[in-house]
Structures are given as C-alpha cells and as structure tokens.
Amino acid sequence: MAKNLMFQGTGSSVGKSLLTAAFCRIYSQMGYKVAPFKSQNMALNSYITKNGLEMGRAQVVQAEAAKVEPSVLMNPILLKPSSDKKCQVILKGKVYKNMSAMEYHKFKPELADKVKEIYDELHNKFDVVFLEGAGSPAEINLREHDLVNMGMAEMADSPVILIGDIDKGGVFASLYGTIMLMNEEERKRIKGVIINKFRGDVKILEPGIKMLEDLINIPVLGVIPYSHLEIEDEDSLAERFKKNKNTKGQIEVAVLYLPHVSNFTDLNVFETQEDVNLRYVMRGESIGHPDMLIIPGSKNTIEDLKYLRDAGLEKEIIKLHRQNKIIFGICGGYQMLGKTLKDPHHTESSIPEINGIGLLDIETIFETEKTTTQVEAQVVAPIDYMEKTSIKGYEIHMGRSFLGKDAKVFSNIKVKLGEEVLIEDGAINEDGTVIGTYIHGVFDNIKFTRSILNHIRTKKGLDKLESTIESFQEFKEQEYDKLANIVRENMDMETIDKILNGEL
C-alpha cells in the first residue's frame, strides 16, 4: 500500500504544482516509485499520453520529475474552458461532454466514486503518491461535493501540507484564515505549513513563524526561497506571459496570446536560447516588428481568428508577411493561416464557414471527433535553411487540413500511437516564410529550432550560433534536479518522512 501526502494552497498561484514536482523528484532520487495525482485540473494546456489519452500538463511535469510515464490515472478529470460559461469535460483521458459550471457542479456526486476508483488504481501501483489540490480548500461555498481539496484528502485518507505564497503579501493572514475556515476534522489533516517564494533573510521572518505556529498549532516545515527555474508551472502562467525573459536577445520571437490559447508550453524551449527575446503579445498590444511570429494552439480557433481580425492583428500579420518575416502556426494557429475554415457540424462555433488569414494554401474542415495522438515525424519541407530532422510531439485537434497546389508538405509522420505510418502533416509556402503544423512540441528539437533561428541571424547579418543545450529534455532534467535541491535544503525533510510514515 502506497504512502501519500497532499499539497494544498491558500489560493491559486502559490506554487502547489512546482512543490509537488519537487517532492516527486526528491523521493524518486531516494529510490521510491513515485506518482503525482490531481483529481481535477482546469487548464487549456494539455498533453497526449502514449495511448492517445488527454491529461493536464502539470501532472506530466510532475511525472517527468518522478521519472515515470505520464498516465491519465494521475489526472482523471480535465476541464478545458471553451467559452466564458462552458467547459469541455475530459474524463479519464476522453471527451465526456461540454457542461456549464452549474451542470458540472450537479455532476460531481456521480464523479466521486469514479475518482476514488481511479485513485485507488494508481495508489496500488506506486510506493508514494503526492497529491495536489486546486485553488483554495477554504472555498466554503464549494465544500459540498468537493473532489479536489479536502474532499479528495478524505477519499485518499491523506495528510495535508498547506502552502502560502509570501511574495503576494499577507501570507500569515492567508494561512491562518484558510485553516480557521476549515472544520475540525479538516484541520486535523494539516500536518505542516510551507511558506513559499520568500525573498530576503529568513531570520527576519522567524518571529512571525513562531507567532503563526502558536496560533494554528501546526509547524512551519519550510521557507522556500523565490527561485527562477525553467519548469512549466500551471500556477504561474500569468507571470510567464507578462515578462520579457531576455530583452538583450538579438532575435525577437513574438507569440500571439489568444483568448483561448492552449498548449503554450510549445514555446518554452525558446527561453533556453540565449539570443532569443520571447515576447507574448497581450490583448491591446501591437505585434510590433519581431523576426518571427508564432500563432499558437487554440481551444476555439474560429473565435480566436475573429479576435485577431477585430483587434486589427490580422493586418499586422499580413504586413509582417510582406516584410518576409517568418510566421509559424501550430495547430489552431496553423488552421488560421489557411484560406478557409469550415465547421459544418458546429463543432467549435455557430459560424459554418469563415475566411482564414490566407497565407497558406490550405482548407480546414472541423470534425466531430478529436484527434489525440503522440507522433514521430520527419521534416521534409523543401526549404534549404530548414534542418531535415526527426521531431517528436503530439496532436490534439478537431479539424483536418487539405493542401492546395501552392502549399508544400511540412513533415511526414512516421510513427503514430507506436505504429509505423506515413501521413503528411502541416504545410509551408514556397519561400519558407509561412509554416504550419499540427505537431505540438515541434520546437523541442533543438537542431530544428536552431536552423530557423540561424536563418534569421544570417538574414540580419549575424553569425550563426549553436545552442548551449543539446536536448530540451536534458535541460528539463537539470531543472528538476535544481528544484529538488532547493526544496530539500529548505525543508524539514525528517518531519516530512514521519508524516508520510503516519508517525505524525
């Protein structure tokens, strides 16, 4: 029977996902077979497993940290907002249906038994399971039928560590208030508290820690310093979008932040390249004059295309194209770059047909069944500057795109769901300035990405530059180890062990 421990937070963006990943890596390094678990995740950032099932990327990160294969057992419910009022409900990796918030709330009692069954299946396969909550456990209006915080802790009979974010201010009040809003049985589950994202000298904090411990009668087990790590963090996406990482970079890569943007982790690799300034174009901002523009995936391609048009961004995209700047579309972004998008079944929208941006000679038709698959492909685009290398990634989309005479194939898919195939993917225009693909993770191949960046450097009169990292996966492994070291050095690991062993 596996040991378990749950991490809950005083609110969103306090660092639950990263701290869960940290403990997954720490206990994996100690020789345990470790799994993460989050019963319900709400995110547009998803991942496709080897068997073609969909799950939240936060648990994929945690699985990578634990050095185990991601499984939908680690995230049985994924909610993907499709509009302001509705979500697509993904249950055990497959689309169940679209629901409003009220419909889903009424559906929760039916889900409880399913969640418990899935958790037990995972629990029986591992030595240690680290659970993650969502938002705050003190949302007293949602406590009935809770599946993700204290309700899940009860189902798993798990002890709980509560996390507070000091960087936001008010950490003592948020920790104390959260605990005081719980009932007595819930408070008994909390075995320790973590103060996260601290900047400064811990000695200044110590008197406050002592006063907090006296008030709540629960120990503070660690004060984790604010650290900059290149790890996907579901809780800090707003920070990622708002800041420029490398304003001195000689190449500017702009990414359109769409209202229904999804799978934006496709762009994380650019943050590892020292000559790249990655900038997200937020609502109300101009695209400016980047060297390369990326239109990422979208949960609602037609609505996001309308947004680009209404905001005047489509005209800016066409202007960039006339300046021979590289424009790259992934999944929904690829579809938008085509001539027409047709939705005869109203899969995404009430609009049956809409003109695309028109920079690629393709037509997209939305279907009722979602494509979800891992793939391996070979870049075959007949463009001199582009590295003809193999790429690995995954597809997750509702439409199929058909190439016209003026579009060339971008890549050939050689492996799909572990089986050998030969399927054309994506498109590229004649001069190699407009590119589209359905493959998420296309940029994770450093050789491929550097071939595009060095092409841009050559056009700007700059020498080519080699990447300081050979593999994005290798880079991520190093970051997981750094995270584990930071947490281990600033935590009372002896007490954590006792909690896991049921001694406290």
- Catalytic residue numbers read 331, 440
State phi, psi for 416 to the nearest 5 degrees: -135, 125
CA–CA distance, 490 with 287 (Å, rounded to integer): 42
* Helix (H/G/I), strand (E/B), else coil: 335: helix
Which helix (DSSP H) or strand (DSSP E) does residue 140 occupy?
A: none
Pairing assessment for the beta strands 419-428 and 434-437 based on DSSP bridges: antiparallel
Q: Which residues contact 390 (CB under 8 A, 6 or more apart)?
A: 376, 377, 378, 379, 414, 445
Task: Specify whether the CB–CB gap between 431 and 237 falls below 8 A.
Answer: no
> Which two tokens mark 357?
């941006």
- Distance CA(95)–CA(350), nearest Å, equals 20
For β-strands 251-256 and 190-198, DSSP reports them as unpaired
User: How many angstroms separate the Cα of 14 from the Cα of each of 8, 452, 471?
Assistant: 9, 36, 30
DSSP per position, 54-84: EEEHHHHHHHHHHTS---GGG--EEEEE-SS
CA distance 79 to 404: 36
Beta bridge partners of 402: 363
Q: Which ranges in 140-281 belong to alpha helices (H)? A: 150-156, 171-180, 184-189, 202-216, 237-242
Q: Which residues of 278-299 are buried (b: 16+ CB within 10 A; e: fewer)?
A: bbbbeeeeebeebbbbbbbbbb
CA distance 437 to 328: 8
How far is the C-alpha of 404 from the C-alpha of 381, rounded, in Å?
A: 15
- Angle made by CA atoms 186, 196, 132, in degrees to the nearest 5: 45
